[in-house]
Amino acid sequence: MNQDEADRTLSEDDFDTKFGPEARADGSLLREHEEVRGVDTNRVWTVIEGDEGTLYAMAGYHVVNRVGYLVTREPWTDPDTMAVYSVPVDFDAAA
């Protein structure tokens, strides 16, 4: 990740505070494509799996490495914004 990308990458906590992901009726956040059709594009984020299992929330619709979609209360304005959504835990290293 270059410096420009790092400057546009939020932590999960900062993402939650700034954009406010909306939970589904069952409390889960991830949605299928059918569930986000018709939602303003600037409120849709794609959760993708990156290198070594890290999950990222990327502004807008994406297909490659897609895990699911998020819908937020606040719209994104920069299509290059992303958040580190989940970092995998190395249980072997933690032991």
- pLDDT tens track, the chain, 95 positions: 544 555 578 999 999 999 999 999 999 999 999 999 999 999 999 999 988 888 999 999 999 999 999 999 999 999 999 999 876 655 454 44
Domain carrying residue 39: 3-88
Domains in the chain, number: 1
The pLDDT of residue 85 is 81
pLDDT at residue 88 in the model: 64
Q: What is the pLDDT of residue 8?
A: 72
The verdict on pTM exceeding 0.75 is: yes
**Interacting residues of 41 by C-beta distance below 8 A, sequence separation 6+:** 60, 61
50 domain residue, yes or no: yes
Q: Which one-letter amino acid corresponds to residue 9?
A: T
As a whole number of angstroms, the distance between CA 51 and CA 54 comes to 6
Tell me, yes or no, whether 29 lies in a domain.
yes
